[in-house]
Every structure is written in C-alpha cells, then in structure tokens.
Amino acid sequence: MSEKEIGQALQIPASSLFNLLKTMVEANYIRKDYQNKYLLGSKLISLGNRAREDLDLYNESLSYIKHLSDELNETIFLAYPQGYEMIYLTKIDSHRSIRTAAQPGANKPIYTTGLGKACLYMYDKTLLDCLFLDIEFEQVTPYTVKNYEMLKVQLRRFKAQGYAIDDEENELGLYCIAAPILNDAGHVIGAISCAGPKERIQHNDLIPQKIKQNAYFISRAMGLTRNGVDIN
C-alpha cells in the first residue's frame, strides 16, 4: 500500500501518519519496496508465524488435554514460553476445580511455574545464561526458587526425570507437574501441566506418567519424530 492509501484507510493526519510509518519501519513491522509502497516487515511476519503456531498448538492439544483431565479428574493447563514469562493458552477444569490465578491469557514468571521449568530444561546453556545471569528472581511465594544456581540444579533433575515440578513456588498450596511440547524441529514450543492441592497431586504416581505421555502425543501431532531428540 502507498502512504496515501494507508492515510485514507486510517483517517489520521499526514504528520501523525508519517511518524507512525517511520516508527514501524524502524521496528521492522513494515518495510518499503522499490516503488515506495509499504509491505509487511520481518517482525510482523514473525508475529504471524508465532500466532499460527500458538493456534496450531491449541488445536492439536485440546482433545488430549480434555481426555487427560477426564482421566485424572484434575485441572490441566496448556501454556507457551515468551521471554521471561509463560503465557497460558487454556485451562481444562475437572469436577474437582481449583482456585488459581492462572487463567487463559494470564502470564507468570517462567521460573516459578512447572510449565515454565518444563520448557526451560529443554533450553541449551547459552540461552539459559542469556535469560537468567543478570536478573533478580522475584519471590512470588516463600518457596520460589531464589537464584539462577538453584534453578539450574532443579532443571538438571527435571530433565533427568522427564517432567518438571512447581512445589508451591507460584501459588501457596498448589502443586504442579508439567512436561514440554516440541515441534517438528525438536524445539520446545509449550508445555502441559496437571495442578491441584499438594496433598492430592504430590504422591499420585500416575500423573507424571500421563503428563509425559500426553506431552509426547501432542509433540507428535505437532510434527516431532524421535530422531535425535530426547524428550524422555
């Protein structure tokens, strides 16, 4: 589209439009071609791909997590990582619903949740260092992991066992067991979890098994093959 066409569509003053377009070009949301027309930039294309992947993740996961909630009679969450946060895509309530601030669209610090830690243990050391070397860990509860060194110890244990745990680190009284979801390239794109009162979840040995199994089924639905990828 030309600048004139964009201005007519948005119906904003020319001076405001110029500044808006300049800012969007600098941020790579749009770009100019050789005819001085505006096209989608790399940032918008990337965001579009992210949105499409989120939609695919939701659609491919839904039947699995609904069945899992029915099978365990527990609440199941689906979320994806975004920088320092986990973004909740959906929550499937069981007949034994739980009180939690985690709702679809909510975001939580990635290091406080089982969902986040399930994603983090699939990250390589370089990426983990970039994320956590210089940040201060917010103490959401008295049990929240306190620093990067403690987090690394947790992640090594979680990777070895094939699932992550949030033991009242995000909400008091709440215990969470989570496993990562990978795409066709073997990259982590999300996680599922089972959450509930600690006394009910912690010693139920069926939950880790079912969470791992269904995370793998969803990963397969997202295109993953086992070749060269260890997801336990």
Rg (CA), the chain: 21
What is the number of domains present in the chain? 2
Q: Give the orientation angle of helix 206-221 with respect to helix 42-72, to 10 degrees.
A: 140
> What pTM was computed for the model?
0.74
The verdict on residue 226 lying in a domain is no
Q: Read off the pLDDT of residues 177-203 as tens digits, 9 standing for 90 and up.
A: 999 999 988 999 999 999 999 999 999
pLDDT tens digits along 35-77: 778 877 766 555 555 555 656 888 889 999 999 999 999 999 9
Kindly write down the DSSP assignment for every residue of 55-76, as one continuous string: HHHHHHHHHHHHHHHHHHTSEE
Q: Are residues 121 and 10 in the same domain?
A: no
Q: How far, in Å, CA of 155 to CA of 66, rounded?
A: 28
Same domain, yes or no: 99 and 19: no
Domain identity same for 72 and 17: no
Per the structure block, which two tokens stand in for 192?
Answer: 């599922």
Residues 132, 90, single domain; the answer is: yes
Side chain identity at 111, as an amino acid letter?
Y
What lies within 8 Å, CB to CB, of 87 at 6+ separation is 79, 80, 81, 105, 106, 107
